[in-house]
Amino acid sequence: MEECDEGPCPLTKALVVIGGKWKATIIYQLSKSNKRFGQLDFAIPGISRKVLTSQLNELLRDDLIIRHSFKESPPRVEYEIGKKAKELIPIFIQLYQWGEYLPDEKLAKT
């Protein structure tokens, strides 16, 4: 990896956008299929609805996911993985495989 002497470090910029406890999980869930808010809430145990809303808004802001509003009664909204986030899936798969070798005690420290 190159040194980050001038300007913001690309690794730091990437981690700002995808960092945090839930963003990778949200992206992973959307990589399987488009989902409504309630489906994401159900698929990600432990996330509060407030945090899910916040994380979705940040992912939307950073163009990693797409929000589709359907003019139906009642209104329906679905979230879809964006092109930039699709590029992250192979990286997340590698992180998943790497994480398989970590002891479960590592989770207790998060």
CATH number at residue 20: 1.10.10.10
Task: Print the domain residue range for 43.
Answer: 10-102
Query: Is 0.75 surpassed by the pTM of this model?
Result: yes
- Quick check: is 42 in a domain? yes
Tens-digit pLDDT profile for residues 26-81: 999 999 999 999 999 999 999 999 999 999 999 999 999 999 999 888 889 999 99
How many domains in the chain?
1
- Quick check: is 107 in a domain? no
- Quick check: is 95 in a domain? yes
Report how far residue 58's alpha carbon sits from residue 21's, in angstroms, rounded to the nearest whole number. Answer: 13
- Quick check: is 109 in a domain? no
Report how far residue 11's alpha carbon sits from residue 15's, in angstroms, rounded to the nearest whole number. Answer: 6
pLDDT(109) > 70? no
CB 34 within 8 A of CB 80: yes
- Quick check: is 39 in a domain? yes
Report how far residue 81's alpha carbon sits from residue 35's, in angstroms, rounded to the nearest whole number. Answer: 10
CB 31 within 8 A of CB 81: yes
- Quick check: is 76 in a domain? yes
- Quick check: is 47 in a domain? yes
Query: What is the per-residue pLDDT for 36?
Result: 96
